[in-house]
Structure 1
Amino acid sequence: MEFEIRNRKTTTVESVVDNGVSTANRLHASATPSNNDNSGTRDSSEDLSLNHSLSDSQKQSLAKEQEEAAFGKTPNGTIFRVPVTKDMLSEIFDMSKKKSAFDIMTLAVMGFQIFLFFTLPTSVKRWLFLVLFVFWRAGYNAGLGYLLKLQSERRGLVAWAKEKGIFDKKSGSPWYDWLNRELTCKMDSDYDFETAPIEFNTWLLYRQLVDLILMNDFTTYVCFALSWLTFPAGSGFFSHLLRWIAGFILVSFNIWVKLDAHRVVKDFAWYWGDFFFLIEQSLTFDGVFEMAPHPMYSVGYAGYYGISLMMASYMVLFVSLAAHAAQFVFLTIVENPHIDKTYNPPTVHKKRASAANSTAPGTPILSASDVTATPAVAPIDQAATLVPCGSKDMYNTYFRRDLIVFKNFDIFRSNDIFVALIIFYATVAPLLVSNTGPRFLTFVMVIQAFLWRIFHSYVLGAVLKQQSVNKFYTKHFIKHGGTVQDAFQSWKSIFNLSNSMTYATFFLAAFKMYSIPDDWTYGTVLLRHVLGLALIALHIWASVSVFEVLGDFGWFYGDFFIEDSSSGLFYTGIYRFVNNPEKVMGHAAFWGMTLICNSWSIFILAMFSQVSNFVFLHYVESPHMRKIYGDKVRKDAGVVKTVKAAQILPKNLKNEVVSKIREKIEETPEIKDVLQRTREVSEKAQDFVEGTRGDLNELVQSVAPRLQEMVTSSKAFLESSSEKLIVARTWEDMGVYDMSQYSIKVVDSLASQDENGVPTYELGQQLTVEWTAPLNHGTKDWIGIYKTSSNNSTKVTTVASKNRYLYVGKDLGLGEALEGVENHAGMGDGEVIEEEVVRIDDKELCKGRVVFVGDKLPWFQGTFEFRYHHHGRYNVMVHTTPFKIALSSLQGEAEHSVASISQSLLPYVQRCYNSDEETMPCTVDERFIMINEQIAERIVKGIQLMYGIEFAWEVVSLDMSCLHLALRIFTATRALAPFSKVVPQGHAVGQPQFAAFPEPSLVASVAAAL
């Protein structure tokens, strides 16, 4: 649907909007040093002043030099000129160039494998090259993926190179001279091994491993495919010819994609350079990157299927599918997280000046006692200066976990139950009927699917058309005392039911038509099933991608109902490449089921669905889009632009052909006479069409259509158990360490004590741990927090820390700290304070502190202890005395007020924000910023512990302030008071107890803030 471009400010609250940076799009950002392309320029006052003092010829030379130069930036801020690099193929296969040991190794391994291909018998090499291809593909996706993941998260490769000193002449490493010689011989004169940053040298070394793996991955795949070459019996010459032509086209297309991608991203992105350093330049989308998302991983593997087609082998096809799937796993686990972290960091929202200035710099964080002295509600005009409600409040008004197929299904909502029951009766019940003939039952299922398609596309399409023209649907509800919200809520329920039934009845009819083949190898049976499943997978991916961009608002056609809900058009995600992904890909599953079922009835049903969707898009959605957005609606998508830009024929060929034809016509009177008569007939036909156009338009508009495709965006969240057992790795020889020199204690003074004298800390409270250790303590010693009941032994830890640990050294245990690299990204990751050498009892010891805050803390109640572990293993050197983490319960209080609830809630909410003064609320009526699911879950968990009321985390995103949450809590406690087990003194058991209604001034203030 062309819904793609509506302003998604109203949808980005709950939907994830594709950031638009693909596998190598991040790299357009990274202009590359390869081939002397312009990769980046410096812009400084020093350059400008220098430029003014140069002559014209010197300026031209300087400009040319800057165009050929690329300037990189390391994580510690060092700017350096990136030496020119060469592409892999020209370096390896150009025999005129000097070869390094890495090149010789790569060629030797490739040559040996090719030798095996030509010498071994077919029965042996088929399985041998299958094993070899799996090995090299695993080396690519698992091996390179692990190294890149390590480098992205902890800069592990650079840290390893620095720890081993392989690029440091002073370290005396035996590898230094050899690497200097081997890497320098592959570079031009602008490269200096000794002065180049360690990040660049590490990247060059990593490139050699990439060349070895990628070249052999390709070689073994080709050898594997050729060893399975077959010519199916019963296929004629033309069948073989068509297969090879189609395969050759796919392979050629694959080669073009790779070449064009390398033209755009160059060596820097081709070899994942931005995992090591960056070249600053704005993101661009050019060539193949305008045609498909992640082109090097998606359409860039079309050659796999072209080769499978030419080899006529299902074995090659299935192996190709598995390899392609592994590539997408690599993309999802390795590349996408790094892209998001590097090019789309979360926006840090600063507080408004009026709010920030209210607290002077250096003012301590509000404590519980401070809050009690703070007015419950700020003046209305002051509250109005805080972050405005904006589109988020509009979203919260119209969307409340709406049912989308079965997403957000709630068994306690009547509408959800009705949808489930209707789908059950329409799909499962007919299969249980046994007293009717199979033909009649099949006929009923097919007709049912036709009727739901008519209702979904044409009936709902007509409703939307009238809603667009004259607000037909909304007027009906207003007429009977309803609101726009009532109308939209009803529309969402009807649309979801219709959309779900359209899919359910189609798949039921297809299921009834399907029969399991007796012989999977006969004809095209197996091929039809493979292609059908591939089309279904394509449909699911397209639907999920569409929903990620549109969100709830676009999915339910919100701008047909909600005025001023959009401020512009944005082409993001899948819509960057195609204007209407649902026009074709949105019906891929229907055609996939048609291939699998091999039924004419299902084919006609799929064709009818496709045509109905076209009609709806043309007569309902497109006019509405033009009506709202006018000229902002894009005509050509990325794919169309790419095809138009690829000019195979000369530009003037058309004009030359037309002129030649005209010359021939003018020379032949008979042809001129025929053309004259044809022109007269054409003019009469045109007059007839013009006369009937109005009638035809009215006829078509009366059956205007509607189809919106289903999305099954089911994201399975696999949560590990609270205490996951591990195989503890320990050091055996611990006798060299004096255990008496180790100590650890919590130094926070804000702890209370329970009746047994056990220190008790508030849930989410920052905990500072002080430790001492001998001078020879492990460089990777670490401290973790555990429940006392989790470990049976005080000598060895046997359960996972669930990331609630910190290294005692600021280097994360990787040796010397990396200059300019932050080991902990923000308060949520804790803080490591530099250790120092102190003298205690005439002994020199190391002493330091680590601060546990935010994600490093357990966000549940219990009795805990800190454990000091040795050198990255699970040997426990010392542990603290047990302490409690709890949140004071306020359920026993006789009465609550909105003011008291909000004042009690504020300190805890501040701790949920990791006590970060830049983002946490300072007053009860200040709106939350930087809210996310994790923070919201912490808040509702605290509310449950404090007041015994359970809320879903989405409630926090609706209220967005402590004051609004307090009013909700107050209302809930008042509603649940008759069922409370707490009975205040002076009241009989069973007598309903209601808290006092909130004071009118508070209600007025909350209403004003709303």
Structure 2
Amino acid sequence: MSTGSPSSPSSPQKSSPSNDGDKKSVNKEEEAIGICTTTKERFNVPLTYDCTDVFVTPQKWTEWPVIIELLLIFFYSATYLLGILPKWFFLVNYIFWRLAYNCGLGYILSTQSNGKHFTKLVQNLIKTHKPMLESNLSLRGKNGVVKHEKYRIDDYPLDFTAWMVYRAVVDVILSSDLAGYIVFCVAYFELPTTFGLYEFISYGIGISLCLFNLWAKSDAHRVLGDYAWYWGDFFFLLDKNLVFDGIFQMFPHPMYSVGYSFYYGVSIMSRSHTVLVVSFCAHMLQLIFLVFVENPHIEKIYGGMSSETNQTSEREPIFFKNLEPFKNPDDLFLVVIICYAMFTSLTASFTTAVGHAVLWRLIHHVGMGYILYGQAKNQAFTKRFTKLGGTSQQAFTFFKKLYNFSLTINHVIMVTLTAKIFITTFIWSGFVAADGASDYHFEGFSQLLSWQYATQLVAGIILILLNIYQSTSTHEVLGDHGWFYGDFFYTETNQNKQPSYTGIYRYLNNPEIVLGYCAYFGLALISKSYAVLGLAILSQFATYLFVKFVEKPHMDKIYGAKNLREKGGIEMELSRVTSHPKIAALNERLDENISKVKKLLLKQD
């Protein structure tokens, strides 16, 4: 696996492409060569039924896995329509199938990855129940001929047969999980008593999220094919290059991220706290599945992401990570100052607390920007150290501590200010002193239970988690050296070098501009504060100026402007979609109609 040289947080690095997708991409209709992971045997991979074929292929309806799927779907539908079971049953039923997915399948895949336990189980089943297995498995064809064929175990390696059995288990669990979720949502659906602008917007957003989810899932299946859709590389490998396009060019792990937008669309339309909370928890379980089951296997099989950095053996503290206040005096000083800043924000008046946050934000972006601008221009920061008898390494070490201190204190002050406003707004109006009654509008604890605030709270948490993902993914690509702008201190100009865009940089050229402060917007939603929203906007705009006037010129100097990508993966994919002939023709007709309307309005005037 090759790696590139990171620079500032705009700088990408090379890594294995497997880090950017949920599963590996294979064209499902293209004949492929499989490689057994146990025996290294090579074999022709036949065509298989996908997850929707089983419902429209009568030949499949005699197989027990499909019979179980259809019976369960019929049972859920009939019992709900007839009102036989209480609605809490459908909640418990969905929780069961969601745990069967994330915990059950997660356990199977984890043990399969580490010890081929499922393959060994299937090997024992073949010895005792071979006819039963063959009668409940089938293929779409062989040697490129699409037709229904009964499965013959002796024609294929054990690894492939284990995958076929696993697919049958997956189909039962996933179809029951989806059907159970739909019936659960319908059971808890609350129709609005009135229909106004708010309801119209809510249903519009909900339907849009559901339609987007339908496109995301279908496009992901187009890219992945059956092999990756059913976690095929846990059982055998394909002798085929990995290809990512479509939805995988736009979003990281789309099957686990935007692939669950359906949950939030339905939650918004249902107006149910229960649906919202259960959907959010179910999505979090899916992300845990990704982190602890799929990602470790991807790193094991395809190699993890690594960065070629000018790193020292000592890990630098980032935010509160790696801090050792009882060992390192600098870390102790940081903790003491942070505690003082928190105390100041909590006890000060509203105006003072907000001004305190603005001041530190300006110190961070203007101060750090000024240092790096001078460093990029003539190594001013390093020269100041060398004049005093120091070294360039000491200058960089001091800057890292300064940058981490500034960044950490800004985040802490924002969280403290949000907590101050949240407590004073919802829990206790006399929590801290305020300049006047208008500083806080006390809504009371009961407002925390309202549907509108529950939606805001979940959206705020999602934005915070998205920001955490952005930060950790950026650091994973750049390493400590790139995170702390090491190339401003160790300049290696190479305008013939083409930077590589991997990890989160596969989708965004500058993720810190787009996602770097979405947690602040999440805090604004949670606190229902325009002041926090204003600070979030200020931080986002300051970051944009920082990148435009400090990072970008330095990147042009290091790599050469001609070697830098103009558009990120999301922009390129959107450009590809909008350049489609049908979309282009639609845009032309739309422009023509707009022009006609303008002419009519001008004539009337």
Give the 5 Å matches for 1:285-296: 285-296=244-255
Q: Which of residues 176, 180, 197 in structure 1 aligns to 2:130?
A: 176
Alpha-carbon distance between aligned partners in 2 of 1:181 and 1:280, rounded to the nearest angstrom: 29
* Counterpart in the other structure of 2:256: 297
Q: Structure 2 residue aligned with 1:424, among 323, 335, 339?
A: 339
Tell me, in whole angstroms, the C-alpha distance in 1 between the residues paired with 2:479 and 2:164: 42
SS across alignment from 1:80: strand
How far is 1:252 from its partner?
A: 1.0
Measured at CA, do residues 523 and 226 of structure 1 come closer, stay the same or move farther in structure 2, by a change above 3 Å?
Answer: closer
Aligned ranges 1:675-754 → 2 under 5 Å: none
Query: Alpha carbons of 1:345 and 1:452: their partners in 2 closer, same or farther (altered >3 Å)?
Result: closer
Answering whether residue 376 of structure 2 is matched by residue 468 of structure 1, we say yes
Alignment of 1:769-788 (within 5 A): none
Match of 1:637 in 2: 568
Shift of 1:308: 0.7
Cα contact 2:14–2:500 (8 A) shared by 1: no
Answer yes or no: is 1:608 the counterpart of 2:571: no
Highest RCO, 1 vs 2 (Cα 8 Å, sep ≥ 6) = 2
Maintained 8 Å contact 1:114/1:223: yes
Matches within 5 A, 1:756-905: none
Q: 2:316 is matched with which residue: 394, 397, 402?
A: 402
Give the distance between the partners of 2:265 and 2:597, measured in 1 at CA: 43
1:655–1:211: structure 2 CA closer, same or farther, 3 Å change rule? closer
Change (3 A) 1:558 1:192: same
Q: Deviations over 1:893-921 (max 9, x none)?
A: xxxxxxxxxxxxxxxxxxxxxxxxxxxxx
Aligned to 1:562: 490
Paired amino acid for 1:480: L
1:776 aligned partner? none
Q: Which amino acid aligns with 1:456?
A: H
Give the letter aligned to residue 175 of structure 2.
M
Q: Which residue of 2 aligns with 1:448?
A: 356
- Superposed displacement of residue 286, structure 1: 1.2
Kept after mapping to 2: 8 A contact 1:559/1:565: no
**Structure-2 separation of matches of 1:20 and 1:490:** 35
Deviation at 1:453, TM superposition (A): 0.8
Matches of 2:61 and 2:420 in 1, distance apart? 66
| The one of 473, 477, 480 aligned to 1:552 | 480
Give the unaligned 5+ runs of structure 2: 142-147, 427-443
Partner SS state of residue 81, structure 1 = strand
Give 1:451 deviation, angstroms.
0.8
Shift of 1:282: 1.9
Name the amino acid aligned to 2:6: R
Mapped pair 1:104 → 2:72: no
Compute the displacement of 1:295 (Å): 1.0
Structure 1 pair 452–113 and aligned structure 2 pair: CA distance change class (3 A): same
- CA gap 1:20/1:409 in 2 versus in 1, 3 angstroms: same
Matched residue SS, 2:238: coil
Match of 1:21 among 18, 21, 26: 18
Aligned to 2:413: 505
1: CA distance, partners of 2:463 / 2:596: 50
Cα pair 1:545 1:574 within 8 Å, conserved = yes
> How far has the Cα of 1:119 moved from its partner?
0.9
> What are the Cα deviations for residues 815-864 of structure 1, in whole angstroms up to 9, with x where unaligned?
xxxxxxxxxxxxxxxxxxxxxxxxxxxxxxxxxxxxxxxxxxxxxxxxxx
* Pair 1:423–1:278, CA change in 2 (3 A): same
On the 8 A contact 1:446/1:506 being kept in 2, the answer is: no
Check 1:538–1:658 CA distance in 2 against 1; reply closer, same or farther (3 A cut): closer
Q: Call closer, same or farther: CA 1:493–1:22 in 2, change over 3 Å.
A: closer
Per-residue deviation, 1:402: 3.0
| Deviation, structure 1 residue 324 | 0.9
Deviation at 1:285, TM superposition (A): 1.4
Query: Is the Cα contact below 8 Å between 2:7 and 2:478 reproduced in 1?
Result: no
**Which one has a bigger Cα radius of gyration?**
1
1:844 corresponds to? none
CA distance in structure 1 between the partners assigned to 2:191 and 2:488 by the alignment = 57
Partner of 2:527: 597
Equivalent in the alignment of 1:412 = 327
- State the one-letter code of the partner of 1:182: N
Letter in 1 for 2:210: V
Letter in 2 for 1:461: G
Contact 1:129-1:223 within 8 A present in 2 as well: yes
Task: Output the TM-score relative to the length of structure 1.
Answer: 0.52
Q: Give the superposition deviation at 1:97.
A: 6.2
* Matched residue, 1:118: 81
Question: Higher helix fraction: Structure 1 or Structure 2?
Answer: 2
CA contact (8 A) 1:98 1:186 kept: no
Q: Which amino acid aligns with 1:180?
A: E
Distance 1:202 1:663, change over 3 A: closer
Whether the 8 Å contact between 1:25 and 1:284 is mirrored in structure 2 is no
In the alignment, the residues of structure 2 paired with residue 80 and residue 25 of structure 1 have an alpha-carbon distance, to the nearest angstrom, of: 25
C-alpha contact (below 8 Å) 1:442/1:512 kept by paired residues: no
Given that 2:357 and 2:414 are in contact with CA atoms closer than 8 Å, whether structure 1 keeps it comes out as: yes
Compute the displacement of 1:658 (Å).
6.3
C-alpha distance in 2, partners of 1:195/1:209?
A: 21
State the shift of 1:662 in Å.
Answer: 8.6
Counterpart check, 1:531 vs 2:459: yes
Aligned-residue offset at 1:454: 0.9
Partner of 1:86: 49
1:160 pairs, out of 111, 116, 121, with 121
Deviation at 1:183, TM superposition (A): 2.0
Kept after mapping to 2: 8 A contact 1:24/1:269: no
**Distance (Å, rounded) in 2 between the aligned partners of 1:241 and 1:533:** 25
**Stretch deviating more after TM superposition (194-203 or 525-534):** 525-534
Any idea what SS the aligned residue of 1:236 has?
coil
Number of the residue aligned with 1:142 = 103
Q: Deviation string for 1:185-234 (max 9, x for gaps)? A: 7654596432221222222122111111111110010000011111344x
Distance 1:97 1:395, change over 3 A: closer
CA displacement 1:930-986 (0-9 Å, x = unmatched): xxxxxxxxxxxxxxxxxxxxxxxxxxxxxxxxxxxxxxxxxxxxxxxxxxxxxxxxx
CA distance in 2, matches of 1:339, 1:94: 33
1:572-613 CA-partner distances (Å, limit 9, x unpaired): 211111122211321112111111222222222222122111
Contact persistence 1:116–1:125 (CA under 8 A): no
SS at match of 1:278: strand
Q: Is the 8 A contact 1:290 1:638 kept in 2?
A: yes
1:657 CA drift (Å): 6.4
Relative to structure 1, is the Cα distance of residues 391 and 565 closer, same or farther in structure 2, using a 3 angstrom cutoff? farther
| Closer/same/farther in 2, CA of residues 629 and 89 from structure 1, 3 Å limit | same
Q: Secondary structure at the match of 2:43?
A: strand
Distance 1:23 1:627 in 2: 28
Structure 1 residues without counterparts, runs of 5 or longer = 40-69, 348-389, 434-439, 675-1010
TM-score of the aligned structures, taking structure 2 as reference length: 0.85
Is contact 1:6–1:568 with CA below 8 Å preserved after alignment? no
**For residues 103 and 503 of structure 1, what CA distance do their matches in structure 2 show?**
52
User: Percent same amino acid at aligned positions?
Assistant: 34
The one-letter code matched in structure 1 to 2:584 is: K
Pairing of 1:474-485 with structure 2 (within 5 A): 474-485=382-393
What is the Cα deviation at residue 113 of structure 1? 1.6
Question: Matched residues in 1 for 2:15 and 2:336: separation?
Answer: 35
Partner residue, 1:328:
287
Distance 2:139 2:22 in 1: 30
- Structure-1 residue corresponding to 2:112: 151
Q: Distance in 1 between matches of 2:112 and 2:218?
A: 27
User: In the alignment, residue 605 of structure 1 is paired with which amino acid?
Assistant: L
Distance 1:442 1:594 in 2: 15
Q: Distance in 2 between matches of 1:661 and 1:600?
A: 37
Assess if the C-alpha contact under 8 Å between 1:250 and 1:305 holds in 2.
yes
What is residue 198 of structure 1 aligned with on the other side?
158
